[in-house]
Amino acid sequence: MQSSGSSKSDVHELGLRQLSGLLHAKKISCTELASEFLDRINTLNPRYNAFITVDGKASLMQAREADALFAAGRARMLTGIPLAQKDIFCTHGWLTTCGSKMLANFVSPYDAHVVENFKRLGMVSLGKTNMDEFAMGSSNETSFFGAVKNPWDEAYVPGGSSGGSACAVAARMCPAATGTDTGGSIRQPAALCGISGIKPTYGVISRYGMIAFASSLDQGGPMAKSADDLALLLNAMAGFDARDSTSIDRPSEDYTRELNRPLAGLTIGLPREYFSDGVNADVARAIDRAIAEYRKLGCETVDLSLPNTRLSIPVYYVLAPAEASSNLARFDGVRYGYRAPQYADLNDMYRKTRAQGFGAEVKRRILIGAYVLSHGYYDAYYIQAQKLRRLIAQDFADAFQKCDVIMGPTTPSTAFKLGEKSGDPVQMYLSDIYTIAANLAGLPGMSIPAGFGDGGRPVGLQIIGDYFSEAKMLNAAHQYQQATDWHMLPPPLS
């Protein structure tokens, strides 16, 4: 197979548009393409632990079905493209564990909305990726199935909770993957693993079949090497779904439509809170260089303030655990999932099942959530947090009167060592200091590679836009990636 200098040995380095071109030109079959990535998974996954479940037979069956679509002349842009699913998306006939012992034996009887969309296009699922248990974590160390390792340095975390997806894309075990973002769980691991990821406006992608952590914050999104890839995937994932009461019924749009528009005249807001003493010097240097590149591309910058950003962490860790304590009540050992093997009566079964089935971080958040929702504390904590959430959203509304997009570091540091913060929950939570506010406001946010910090670990540039401005954000990201090659650099894997 030869095309534009590509061979089977380097097909894993190509973007989705290039892979689609090879498939449509019949330079490679869908089955051959899937086999290439399955071989890489078999070789690399024992090292990085990015996948929980891989079913080669099922994947190759989907690939053969995609080949049949090509033979019948019914193939579309993404037909035959392989991708991985974060193990929070229900996938018919596949284990869907959410990284938890509680669901370690759960085989989903139905597909999530985004999985349905991918199947409708003839895309090929390569497997289910590892994640922090029930998406609760910032390092992918809370998974029942063990920690994921960062392919840039195996002694470091990949970020979380979508760390398995980020690692899989970065290590070229798949060209794209799904993730979910409750407080930064697409953007933070994308930054730490040197890939691109986007969380769209809340409600743009259906949450049907996406196992809930905090329902008013959770949002699915794509993870891939480039903004171009993200736009193509967002076209597939977005859309109204009547089964999700929070899904927004609005006309569909082509998220690739503005990719090639010049950036001259784009105004970038630089919040002083994102460039304070809290960000490490090596990260700050990389972000400053990225902003300088944007100025070369014709952008203007304006300094602004998001004064309530400092409240994001405490507000989030009241609201998210409160919603989690309610959502996770369904895992009781009665209907499905794990059940304690020995118990005296029904109440004992509930207690032992939940004590044995949930990990420490999940238990911590359930306890916090139950506390803030309890009588006597609901008004003092939960209601006050909701009021502050409104103030945080208003800060952004005011900021977007002055700029088109907001930029800054995705994370205050590059990837930290495995185990470094696992004993200090507060320090772990502060990893998401720059990402949480976008979730609280329901705004779209993304992270793209912007260079490297000390030790050669990736730095992510965060782009936040106003509601439904994903196409504008993707344009800003794509033009930067046309001028730089950070997103093209693979980890050494040596």
User: So which residues are the catalytic ones?
Assistant: 86, 161, 185
> DSSP alpha helices (H): ranges in 211-262?
227-237
Structure tokens at 346: 């029904």
Do 148 and 418 meet the contact criterion of CB atoms below 8 Å apart?
no
Do 98 and 328 meet the contact criterion of CB atoms below 8 Å apart?
no
Residues 6+ apart with CB under 8 A from 291: 268, 270, 301, 407
Structure tokens at 330: 């369904």
| E-state strands within 182-307 | 196-199, 220-224, 267-271, 300-304
Please tell me the distance from the alpha carbon of residue 251 to that of residue 172, in angstroms, as a whole number: 34
Structure tokens at 371: 């506390």
Three-class DSSP category at 51: strand
Between the CA atoms of 191, 193, 196 and 202, what dihedral angle is there, to the nearest 10 degrees?
Answer: -60
Q: Tokens 């009887």, residue? A: 109
Please tell me the distance from the alpha carbon of residue 283 to that of residue 350, in angstroms, as a whole number: 46
Distances (CA, A) of 441 to 177, 312, 391: 25, 10, 9
| E-state strands within 41-129 | 51-53, 82-86, 124-129
